[in-house]
Amino acid sequence: MASCNSGPNFLKNFWIPNHVLVPDSKVEAGEINGDGPNCPVLVFVNSKSGGQLGGDLLKTYRALLSEKQVFDLGEEAPDKVLSRIYATLENLKLQGDQLAIRTMERLRLIVAGGDGTAGWLLGVVCDLKLSHPPPIATVPLGTGNNLPFAFGWGKKNPGTDEQSVVSFLDQVMKAKEMKIDNWHILMRMRAPKQGSCDPIAPLELPHSLHAFHRVSAADELSMEGCHTFRGGFWNYFSMGMDAQVSYAFHSERKLHPEKFKNQLVNQSTYAKLGCTQGWFLASLFHPPSRNMAHLAKVKVMKAHGRWEDLHIPSSIRSIVCLNLPSFSGGLNPWGTPNSKKRRDRDLTPPYVDDGLLEVVGFRDAWHGLVLLAPNGHGTRLAQVHRIRFEFHKGAADHTFMRIDGEPWKQPLPVDDDTVLVEISHHGQVNMLATHDSRARSVYDPSSPYHNDVEEDDSNDEETAADEFRKFGAADTFKIPDEVDLSHLS
């Protein structure tokens, strides 16, 4: 199929008029079909993802499309690119330029990288509040590749030759649009008596979490002497066992990047670390004081305006808050509850646009292996609209947390202070899904729940305030120069 579609006439479906990419330039004769491109695309590639694959993929896209519509994320941040191009589109729209109008209406984005890279671009689109937000397709260049897998783009690193790229472009043109919930995360802790606060040393926070030294006067969680971090995620937030293994993996990769150039090797190393961390014999290597029930008090909001305590079984050593039916390389920890569970516990299948997070617990690594069995799932704790974790002084001085593949070591209170993490529904962005998509919409007419949708609470609080945006993007987000983009996976 790719070979018969690889001609210039097929590729014209994806070309963007030159005068849109380069302001004040003219439309070249024969450059674009008369009605405009059917599927204009902007391509963003993390050239450091997937070993050499990112760089090779960048060259192939630039050979097939205009170089001006293919961007290396190591050279230019996506917020700068989209701000510039959308400013030109809006200006041409005011002039009545029909090519520009149709380009804006049909525009699609492609992002090639790990889940961290994909989340970065989703954050940009979310923060910029574009007049016509484009849907996004994801090329799997990372280790887990949960986002691409959930929407049918696969989880194995793709081919980088022209035929493979043309085949992917053909899928992008045929893909359907789907909404996906995004989630706001707030983390608050006492300011350190010594050291930097942005981020708090020696904390290495994910790039999607940002320090805010000012808070809204209406913020009920505001406390004198505390620092607030805000950000967002699209796939999952987790803490405990799985985050500790991920942290060990990322630490090892940071020390020895030359050993992590192959997806298969990366996955093998990840599995070995799961063994060496002692999670297959958790009851022997990890004392009960490290279990989630001993570390945190958990409150959830299943309906608007009413918090309630969530019971965490004493054996649970890891908690995952899921937005997508893909975790740890394509596994589905929530599964599909049977009719009895739906009736007795008011549980639903995991939809990606229902305004609900699936909260799942795991006892140890053996419990995680249950996901490999047909209909296997973790311990279903709740489906929630909001969730709050309160950490008080206890037996442990730290735990491990992870957002969309980016882990960190989180210090816990050593005196009477509290570390607080709260997650709430924030809005939605547009994704592109193939016919193989595992993600399901609550609006799908074949779903018995498609009319039973959570109400958006975007107006419940001061979500328009600056600190409630910034999902890892736009004006305030900038990946520091010293950060290796290959770690965004």
pLDDT band at 197 (very low <50, low <70, confident <90, very high): very low
Residue 379 has a pLDDT of: 86
pLDDT band at 467 (very low <50, low <70, confident <90, very high): very low
* Mean pLDDT on 246-252: 76
pTM of the model: 0.79
pLDDT band at 279 (very low <50, low <70, confident <90, very high): low
Distances (CA, A) of 125 to 58, 78, 149, 212, 431: 21, 9, 21, 21, 11
Residue 306 has a pLDDT of: 87
- 118 and 141 Cβ atoms separated by less than 8 Å: no
Tell me the percentage of the chain whose pLDDT exceeds 70. 70
- Give per-residue pLDDT as tens, 60-114: 999 999 999 999 999 999 999 999 999 999 999 998 888 999 999 999 999 999 8
Residue 371 has a pLDDT of: 54
Interaxial angle between packed helices 53-64 and 162-174, expressed in degrees from 0 to 180 and rounded to the nearest 10: 70
Residue 468 has a pLDDT of: 47
Q: Which of 70-79, 314-323, 443-452 has the lowest mean pLDDT?
A: 443-452
Q: What angle do CA 404, 407, 437 make, to 5 degrees?
A: 20
Which tokens is 119 given?
């989340």
What is the residue-averaged pLDDT of the chain?
A: 78
Which of 117-121, 223-227, 330-334 has the highest average model confidence (pLDDT)? 117-121
Considering only CA atoms, which of 105, 91, 84 is closest in space to residue 37? 105
Considering only CA atoms, which of 121, 373, 372, 334 is closest in space to residue 236? 334
Give the C-alpha separation, 253 to 486, whole Å.
10
Which of 7-16, 57-66, 217-226 has the highest average model confidence (pLDDT)? 57-66
CB atoms within 10 A of CB 228: 21
Which tokens is 51 given?
């070993």
Q: Which of 19-28, 175-184, 192-201, 227-236 has the lowest mean pLDDT?
A: 192-201
110 forms beta bridges with: 43, 137
Q: Is the pLDDT reported for residue 451 higher than 80?
A: no
Q: What are phi and psi of 210, to 5 degrees?
A: -130, 145
Q: Which residue has the tokens 């505001």?
A: 222
Q: Is the pLDDT reported for residue 266 higher than 80?
A: no
Give the C-alpha separation, 317 to 122, whole Å.
30
Residue 152 has a pLDDT of: 94
Which of 7-21, 157-171, 394-408, 412-426 has the highest average model confidence (pLDDT)? 157-171
pLDDT band at 414 (very low <50, low <70, confident <90, very high): confident
Residue 290 has a pLDDT of: 65
Higher pLDDT, 353 or 254: 353
- 67 and 59 Cβ atoms separated by less than 8 Å: no
- 433 and 176 Cβ atoms separated by less than 8 Å: yes
Give the C-alpha separation, 90 to 107, whole Å.
13
Q: Is the pLDDT reported for residue 473 higher than 50?
A: no
Q: What are phi and psi of 8, to 5 degrees?
A: -60, -35
* Mean pLDDT on 391-395: 77
Which of 268-272, 298-302, 305-309, 347-351 has the highest average model confidence (pLDDT)? 298-302
Q: Which residue has the tokens 């990047």?
A: 257
Residue 88 has a pLDDT of: 92
